[in-house]
Copies of this chain bind each other. A is one copy, B any other.
Amino acid sequence: MNFKLNDLPERSIKPRQKGLTMVMDKGLSLRQVEDFLDVAGVHTDIVKLGWSTSHVTPRLKEKLELYRSAGIPTYFGGTLFEAFTVRNQFEDYQRVLDEYGMEYAEVSDGSMDIEHDIKCDYIRKLSKQVTVISEVGSKDATKIFAPYKWIKLMQAEIEAGSWKVIAEAREGGNVGIYRGTGEVREGLVDEILTQIPSERIIWEAPQKEQQVWFIKLIGSNVNLGNIAPAEVIPLETIRLGLRGDTFDFFLGK
């Protein structure tokens, strides 16, 4: 923080359990990772290599090492887990995690259909190997769950060993907890929060209006995910009440 501004909302500090900013890297080059870390690393808690982009990214080990040396954990998007699992290659996936020195992994079922019990089994198995983040919600806009279902799924995944559960939105921010227009399904979020502690959830919120909405609901230290690298600095100002959208909101609090 460069200036002495009074009465800013308090921000948690790294390593954080709440107030996480999870960034989606969907194909940065090594030098672009360096650029990102240089300006936004201090505000970033964890980086996801979006869906299966890691499969087609050259010099992947060097890239992971760049994040590692900056102290920022990374994980492969859940679609990579699904691509292995749907092909009966789950053990191969476990070997990949070891080979690349991954400390986190995502378990999701956004693109494939599996029984929820089986998903929880994968969470249990992987949580012996790495820290598991699991994702609830389909990438298919036509599959809409009722709130009680979201809660049941999240609870079961936390019990199975997930460190955090992610509420699905995709890169676009137009499925899962959002309507096709990007608008938050507010009743759904409210109901989830009656049962699941907010620090256990990472809300995917790629659009600015979505970030603003969650910050107004839960506060500066809400966990937000799928943030584009170039939006980390802007997001930090929204968390601090230093952008028009939350300027009034935090004054006098």
Task: Name A's B-contacting residues (CB within 8 A).
Answer: 1-7, 26-32, 34-36, 38-40, 42-43, 50-60, 79-80, 82-84, 86-87, 89, 92, 96, 110-112, 139-140, 170, 172, 208, 230, 232-234, 236-237, 240, 242-244, 247-248, 251
Contact = CB atoms under 8 A, between A and B. Distances in A.
A242 B52 contact: yes
A205 to B, nearest CB: 16
5 tightest Cβ-Cβ pairs between the two chains A and B: A27-B233, A52-B242, A29-B39, A139-B244, A111-B247
Given A27-B40, A29-B35, A58-B39, A53 B233 contact: yes
Nearest to A111: B247
A142 to B, nearest CB: 13
B86 A56 contact: no
B233 A57 contact: yes
A236 B5 CA distance: 38
21 contacts: A1-B56, A2-B55, A2-B56, A5-B55, A5-B83, A26-B233, A27-B40, A27-B233, A30-B39, A38-B59, A39-B59, A50-B234, A52-B237, A52-B242, A53-B234, A55-B237, A57-B233, A86-B251, A112-B247, A139-B244, A170-B244
Nearest to A49: B233
B56 A43 contact: yes
Given A242-B79, A244-B79, A5 B56 contact: no
A32 B242 CA distance: 23
A6 to B, nearest CB: 5
A169 B232 CA distance: 22
A3 B82 contact: no
Nearest to A51: B243
Given A55-B242, A233-B26, A237-B51, A79 B247 contact: yes
Contacts of A29: 35-36, 38-40
B39 A92 contact: no
